[in-house]
Structure 1
Amino acid sequence: MPVNGRAHIRIARPSRDLAAAERFWTQGLGLDVLFRKESAAAEAGPGAGYALLMVGWRYAGWHLELARDPHHPVLPGPGEEDLLVIYLDGPVPDDLLARLERHGGRCVPARNPYWDTWGVTVRDPDGYRLVLSTRQWSSAEH
């Protein structure tokens, strides 16, 4: 398959706590668990020992992979501009924000005021920022 708009995208990030991340992304945002692998010390080969959690919407062209190496942990190092933006094409539902906060998220001001004008920024349990944008995605506007 050539590299083009039909290629599936995996966004991979380290996680401090996969259980907390899972609650935020699944119970909070509503993503599905697409794959899970627990850490196993006796494993051999590429990716041995890693615990993985892949979440996303089943038919989306992307998914989020959260990984934890219990033997050599890499702590997340997100900055204020490390954003995952979801375009809602309408208001951000209050019940969605409440659910995200109940499951480990925290609403925070955006570093770039554009996102405060056009959405809400929520920090996940690992410190990464999810922006729920009220705008509709249009490549012509961006």
Structure 2
Amino acid sequence: MVREIPAGQSRALIPRLRVARPTDDIAALLPFYCDGLGLSIIARFENHDGFDGVMLGHAAAPYHFEFTVAHGHIAGRAPTPDNLLVFYIPDPAEWQVAIDRMRSCGFAPVPAFNRYWDINGLTFEDPDGYRVVLQRAAWDL
């Protein structure tokens, strides 16, 4: 799921993206995102101004995900079944490896709320109800 930076292009020129969201249970999310999706813990913190958190990603990727718990606050579940993270995996063999890894970790696909995602991909739901689509297609814009 990690693409190489084109020759001659500096990593410093590529904007880095952090997707951050609250959760009520970081530990419950780790098997889904680390074991299933293959992300790594790249940082974590405890009791930083009332927050605990973890950042997950790949060292070479220009993105990572942050999950936080706010002490004394209930985050709840995803507001809709159409809250998605979409990973475009154009290589069919690499896509199948990703699907097999999710299934072998005990995560079964769920029907997508928007059936478009069922045409060339599979959708998985994390313990908080947020969904991840593994799309067997290139993202060509």
| Structure richer in helix, relative to its length | 2
Query: Is the TM value for this pair above 0.5?
Result: yes
TM-score (norm 1): 0.80
TM-score (norm 2): 0.80
SS of equivalent to 2:38? coil
Contact 1:13–1:76 (CA<8 Å) still a contact in 2?
no
Counterpart residue number, 2:20:
12
Residue 95 of structure 2 corresponds to residue 77 of structure 1: no
Counterpart residue number, 1:48:
49
RMSD: 1.7
AA of the residue aligned to 2:65: L
Moved more, 58-67 or 77-86: 77-86
Q: In the aligned structure 2, how far is the partner of 1:30 from the partner of 1:90?
A: 17
Residue by residue over 1:91-125, the C-alpha shift from the partner in whole angstroms, topping out at 9 and shown as x without a partner, is 3324223134x2xx442101111110010000011
Following TM superposition, the consecutive aligned residue runs of length 4 or more in structure 1 with deviations greater than 6 angstroms are none
Contact 1:34–1:54 (CA<8 Å) still a contact in 2?
yes
Residue 25 of structure 2 corresponds to residue 23 of structure 1: no
Residue 101 of structure 2 corresponds to residue 96 of structure 1: yes
Of 42, 47, 55, the match for 1:34: 42
Contact 1:107–1:120 (CA<8 Å) still a contact in 2?
yes
Of 115, 118, 123, the match for 1:116: 118
**1:25 CA displacement:** 0.6
Q: In the aligned structure 2, how far is the partner of 1:19 from the partner of 1:73?
A: 15
Q: 1:99 to 1:15 in 2, by over 3 A?
A: farther
Identity of aligned residues (%): 37
